[in-house]
Amino acid sequence: MVGMIAKMTRCFIALSLSLLILSGCVHSPKKQEQGFRFNSVEVFNQTRSDIFNMKIEVTKFHRKFACGIILRDSLCMNGFHPRVLQSNDVVISWDQDGQHYEIGPIRLQMPEDYNPNTTHAIQFIFIDHHRVEMAFPESRY
């Protein structure tokens, strides 16, 4: 009986040590960042002609999103893992009808009435007279 208790005690100690060692290997997930989350950039051409060499540059980081051609009534987009919008300046440039256009720097601000539990898209909508509007719908992806 004493031998059995000693064996059970050793098993209990071994099991406890194993659990303690394994708990050190468990990766706790990163806390989800708070703020306006988005996972795609979508550029719509709602003008009467094609757009060429369109670039959206985040000036602080010199990161660019580019589309070589966006046919009229079409779009160009890029999806990625969700990230939190930081209020950085962007410059938008493009060629259309033989002319070069540039807007910016523009500071991207998160919309006031967004759902923090939803991932959104950032849409740049090119409209006539060389204007660009923005929208922040819920992401489809």
What pLDDT shows up at residue 32?
Answer: 53
In a domain, 45, yes or no: yes
Is 91 inside a domain boundary? Answer: yes
pLDDT value, residue 59: 86
Whether 24 is in a domain gets the answer no
Which segments in the chain show pLDDT lower than 70? 1-33
Please enumerate in sequence order all residues whose Cβ is within 8 A of that of 138, keeping only pairs 6 or more positions apart, or say none: 115, 118, 119, 120, 121
Residue 63 lies in a domain: yes
pLDDT of 35 reads 78
Give 12-41 pLDDT, tens digit per residue.
444 443 433 333 433 333 445 577 888 999
CATH number where 70 lies: 2.60.40.2890
In the chain, how many domains are there?
A: 1
User: 85 lies in a domain?
Assistant: yes
Tell me if 54 is assigned to some domain.
yes
